[in-house]
Amino acid sequence: MSEAANGKIKWGILGTGWIAEQFASDLKHASNGELYAIGSRTLESASTFAEKFGAPVSHGSYEELAADPNVDAIYVATPHPFHKENVLTALAGGKAVLCEKPFTVSAHELETLIEAARDKKLFLMEAMWSRFLSPIVQVRKWLEEEKIGEVRVVKAEFGFDAGWNPEGRLLNPELGGGALLDAGIYPVSFASMVFGPNPENIWTTAHIGETGVDEHFTIMLDYGDGKTASLHGGVRLELPNDAFIHGTKGYIHIPQFLFAKEATLHVSGEEPVRVTDDREDRGIKGYAYEAEEVGRALAEGRRESSVITLAESMGIMRLMDNVRGQWGLKYPFE
Query: What CATH number should be reported for the domain whose range is 134-276+314-327?
Result: 3.30.360.10
**CB of 269 within 8 A of CB of 148?**
no
Cα distance between residue 180 and residue 322, in whole Å: 12
Cα distance between residue 55 and residue 250, in whole Å: 48
HSE value, Cβ hemisphere, 13 Å, CA-based, for 13: 33
Given 10, 84, 101, 155, the catalytic residue: 101
Ranges of CATH 3.40.50.720 domains, the chain: 9-127
| Segment 15-72, tens digit of pLDDT | 999 999 999 999 999 999 999 999 999 999 999 999 999 999 999 999 999 999 999 9
Paired sense of beta strands 124-127 and 33-39, if any = unpaired
152 has pLDDT over 70: yes
Cα distance between residue 270 and residue 41, in whole Å: 56
Residues for the chain: how many in total? 334
| Segment 270-329, tens digit of pLDDT | 999 999 999 999 999 999 999 999 999 999 999 999 999 999 999 999 999 999 999 999
Fold of the CATH domain 9-127: Rossmann fold (3.40.50)
Cα distance between residue 202 and residue 191, in whole Å: 13
- 0.75 exceeded by the pTM? yes
Which pLDDT score is estimated for 7?
79
- Examine the residue annotation and report whether 101 is marked as an active-site residue of this protein: yes
Cα distance between residue 16 and residue 21, in whole Å: 7
| Segment 204-231, tens digit of pLDDT | 999 999 999 999 999 999 999 999 999 9
Ranges of CATH 3.30.360.10 domains, the chain: 134-276+314-327
Cα diameter, the chain:
62
